[in-house]
Amino acid sequence: MARPDSGEAPREHAPLPDYAEEVLALVERIPPGRVMSYGAIADWLGHGGPRQVGAVMSRYGGAVGWHRVVAAAGRPPLCHEGQALRMLRAEGTPLRGNRVDMARAAWHPHEDASAAEA
DNA sequence: AATTTGACGACCG
DNA sequence: TCGGTCGCCAAAT
């Protein structure tokens, strides 16, 4: 069984679309208590768009912290918002009613390489 | 190969 | 603040 590929995260046994690998890899980097918007992910990847990120999450999001991905307005996925809000709250994510306080919870990959701030 | 979908974003009223 | 509309771009059918 020769598999020339190595180094990929064994989160899925089947070959994922290139875009899905990038999205899932970034979603898994989101620390607890923080969230990222679909648009922010697409922007960080440098290509695609918020719709593409959402489309990937709908198919493969179940393997990652999908609840840490919210809309730019701070509202979690419309399909399971109650479920997501509960998990976000359990992680200590700053919520504001049924919406995430993006002003405090918005995370960016750059922060991970720049130590923690106040 | 073409069309439709999709866990959205920004804009408008 | 809320609801409706158009646009985006890759994946699935």
A108's CB contacts (< 8 A; 6+ apart) are: A36, A40, A44
CA–C1' gap, A99 and C2, in angstroms: 15
Q: What is the pLDDT of residues A30-80, one digit of tens each?
A: 999 999 999 999 999 999 999 999 999 999 988 888 999 999 999 998 778
Does the reported pTM lie above 0.85? yes
**Which residues have Cβ atoms closer than 7 angstroms to strand C?**
A 17-20, 47-52, 55-56, 59
Beta bridge partners of A100: A95
Give the Cα separation of A110 and A65 in Å (integer): 19
Range A101-105 average pLDDT: 94
Nucleotide nearest to A76 (CA to C1'): B7
Q: Tell whether the model's pLDDT for residue A118 goes beyond 50.
A: no
The conformational region for residue A49 under phi > 0 = left, psi -120 to 50 = alpha, else beta, is beta
Nucleotide nearest to A61 (CA to C1'): B7
Range A5-22 average pLDDT: 72
